[in-house]
Amino acid sequence: MDSASTTLVNLDTPSVRHTRPSDSNSGAPDHLMSSARFVKDLFETVVRLNPYYDDSPVASSAARMPAARELLEAELATLEHARLQVLRSMNQEVLIALLPPEVLGQVFLRLVEGVARDRGRYQWLSITWVCHHWRTVALTTPELWSRIVIRRSSDNVERTKVFLERSKAASLQIIIAHTQELHELMPEILAQVNRAESLSLSSSLETLLEWENALPTVAPRLRRLHIRRAPHQFRPIRDTRSSLSTFMAICQIPALSVFSSVHTLIDWSTNMFAPCLTRLSVQYPSGSGGAPISDVIRAFTSLPQLEFIQLDDVLAPLPENASNLPRIAMPLKLLHLKEVKLGATALSCAHFLQHIIYPASTVTALTFTTVLPETVELVTTVLASKIVLRDSTNGTRMLFDTVFVDGERIFLYSEPSSTGAGALTPHKFVILLPYVLGVDHSFVLDALWPKLPIRDVTKLHVLTPMPSMRPSAQSQHSWSRFVAALSGVEEVVLQGNPFAYVFSSLAAPQDSQDPSSAKIRYILPNLRRITVYDVIFRHEDSDESEQDPEPPLAADPPPFVPELIKICKTRTDIEVVVLKWCFKVLEEDIEKLQEVVSRVEWDREDEHQRPEYPQDEVDDRNWDSWY
């Protein structure tokens, strides 16, 4: 629907015709306008020629012209009315005209969701200009007008007022970012919060405090509340007004199920949330110092229905020289929890996880702001207890079948499975920290993997980090020990051009070999499949006229084809090589691979398609981009 005057709907029956008098002369098809144009042209001809053919004096003719014009205009209006009646009769043949108005209104609601997302939040208004019937249905469907969005100074104040009026008693979705031009309208909008289902406010602290004064005392329909304090206008971190007490009072509304707060402080010692809350997301300003973990846990004791928790910079850091985590009185059971995402020091994250008991399928994502070698044993012991499932029947077993590692994060997750009564449901465990394979943090990997039964893992996915994240010698040794422990891996996925140490680890022999055995045993003894994903097989040839080309760095990725052939030639147990979205692949590359491996799968059409990465990468400041 490209414009307000376009005729729509093609259901193998005559299309819907424009029947609104207000726009009938602006958007109707040419073949439907012929009669009206004829009358109009006739009228203009008579007016133009009348003075030359009238026998009466010119003054008398001019006096009679208004009357003649009125007669012609009346005839034109009669013809126009008849034309509209014919069009309305023809519209009855269209299938969509047979829908009851309430059903057609629901169709419009679905249409609005898609159009507002793809073309802009007001493009859907064109449906009100198609025909009289559609406009009537749209105006009598209050839910169509219930989304009040103000994000820019160019947003029309009058249009917002019309939306408020036409929404009648429908539950509102209010999304406001303060602009000076709309300041005069804010009291009128906030006065409607008592019928709001969703409220999202973003502005400076001073403006948020001003809006608090205009809030109604009750908001019985409110289910979702989002408050964001503009980051560029921070007052001192511990300004007590940052708690926004009036907004926090709204959180006690029984219907509230979703609460999100960004850059505002919360008094966790008070019982502020309603028991039916299911999603809680809080981000403190950086450097705020966080809140005591005991207070946060105490607030969760009254929220048994929680399904989602996100705490970013909320948990106060524990002493860095702690030799033991603080004792806990009674673990908190959150049996409905599906996701928990924490951003804090490694000790604080571990201590928080110690406090709660949640289902094994819960998605867990941790962003460590700091982690020290002195405390890594404490941290990894707690993490292992959350990753490993222990039961009396099967003993200790891994909850995951895939390990994903790149330069700054470790993913443990399972693929969706629908086979077998005991099939695992999809779930993830993510550890995000700077340079987990770098010189400063490789000790995390060294301390964590011995505590995990990772022999159950069947897939290893390696994403090459950015070139600036060059591996150190220490991280390479850590990587080799880690890979050697993955004895159950059957498939390795190489995404991006790997560093040389990744290649060498795939063809490295095991440390302990039987001297009497003629067969060499390699690490990853069950490896049968290598999947190559988003790899450039060769780089552009350098300009021959270049005098002194820059020599490659030792840590640069090596030429891909020779390394891959070397692995497959060394390890005769590799059965399949799969190429997905690889670039600059030649036929001779495939031929060389086919000489050393049983089967090579390559769809050359993939080279011209930019891949949509299936990786579950976590942005440490934008969790919603991950899940």
Which pLDDT does position 438 carry in this prediction?
44
Residue 485's contacts (CB-CB under 8 Å, 6 or more residues apart) are 449, 450, 454, 455
pLDDT tens readout for residues 77-122: 999 888 888 877 777 777 777 788 888 888 888 888 777 666 667 7
Question: Does residue 405 register a pLDDT over 70?
Answer: yes
Banded pLDDT at 57 (limits 50, 70, 90): low
Q: Give the count of alpha carbons within 13 A of 381, CB side only.
A: 10
* Dihedral sign computed on CA atoms, order 331, 335, 337, 338: positive
Question: Does residue 588 register a pLDDT over 50?
Answer: yes
Higher pLDDT: 574 or 321? It is: 574
Burial of 254 (0-12, 13-18, 19+ CB in 10 A): exposed
* d(C-alpha 281, C-alpha 262), whole Å: 8
Q: Please report, for residues 143, 273, 276, the alpha-carbon distance to residue 254 in angstroms, rounded to integers and kept in the order given.
A: 23, 9, 7
Which pLDDT does position 361 carry in this prediction?
77
Write down the pTM of the prediction. Answer: 0.71
* d(C-alpha 146, C-alpha 123), whole Å: 15
User: Across 46-60, 171-185, 223-237, 571-585, which has the greatest mean pLDDT?
Assistant: 571-585
* d(C-alpha 296, C-alpha 293), whole Å: 5
Mean predicted confidence (pLDDT) in 27-42: 55
User: Across 70-79, 270-279, 443-452, 479-488, which has the greatest mean pLDDT?
Assistant: 70-79
Mean pLDDT in the chain? 74
Banded pLDDT at 311 (limits 50, 70, 90): very high
User: Across 10-19, 105-114, 136-145, which has the greatest mean pLDDT?
Assistant: 136-145
Taking a C-beta distance cutoff of 8 angstroms, is the pair 227, 263 a contact?
Answer: no
Burial of 54 (0-12, 13-18, 19+ CB in 10 A): middle
pLDDT tens readout for residues 313-365: 999 998 877 778 888 777 889 999 999 999 998 899 999 998 898 887 788 88
For 65, the enclosing helix (H) or strand (E) is helix 58-91
Banded pLDDT at 11 (limits 50, 70, 90): very low
DSSP label at residue 619: B
Q: How many C-beta neighbours within 10 Å does residue 381 have?
A: 15
Task: State residue 219 phi and psi, 5-degree precision.
Answer: -145, 75
Per DSSP, helices labelled H in 264-400 are 293-300, 346-355, 376-387
Q: What is the 3-state secondary structure (H, E, C) of 80-143?
A: HHHHHHHHHHHHCCCHHHHCCHHHHHHHHHHHHHHHHHHHCCCHHHHHHHCCHHHHHHHHCCHH
For 311, the enclosing helix (H) or strand (E) is strand 308-312
Residue 133's contacts (CB-CB under 8 Å, 6 or more residues apart) are 19, 88, 91, 97
Give me the numbers of helices (H) and strands (E) for the chain, helices first please: 17, 21
Which pLDDT does position 490 carry in this prediction?
92
Name the residue among 419, 315, 468, 411 with its Cα closest to residue 617: 411
Q: Which of 140-154, 346-360, 416-430 has the lowest mean pLDDT?
A: 416-430
> Any idea which residue has 């002369």 for tokens?
25
* d(C-alpha 211, C-alpha 174), whole Å: 13
Instruction: Give bridge partners of residue 281 from the DSSP assignment.
Output: 260, 310
Task: State residue 462 phi and psi, 5-degree precision.
Answer: -115, 120
Q: How many C-beta neighbours within 10 Å does residue 169 have?
A: 8
* Dihedral sign computed on CA atoms, order 190, 193, 195, 197: positive
As a residue count, the chain comes to 627
* Dihedral sign computed on CA atoms, order 503, 505, 510, 511: positive
pLDDT tens readout for residues 375-387: 888 888 888 888 7
Instruction: Give bridge partners of residue 536 from the DSSP assignment.
Output: 583
* d(C-alpha 615, C-alpha 626), whole Å: 9
* d(C-alpha 68, C-alpha 55), whole Å: 16
Name the residue among 584, 494, 586 with its Cα closest to residue 531: 494
- How much of the chain, in percent, has pLDDT values that exceed 90? 11
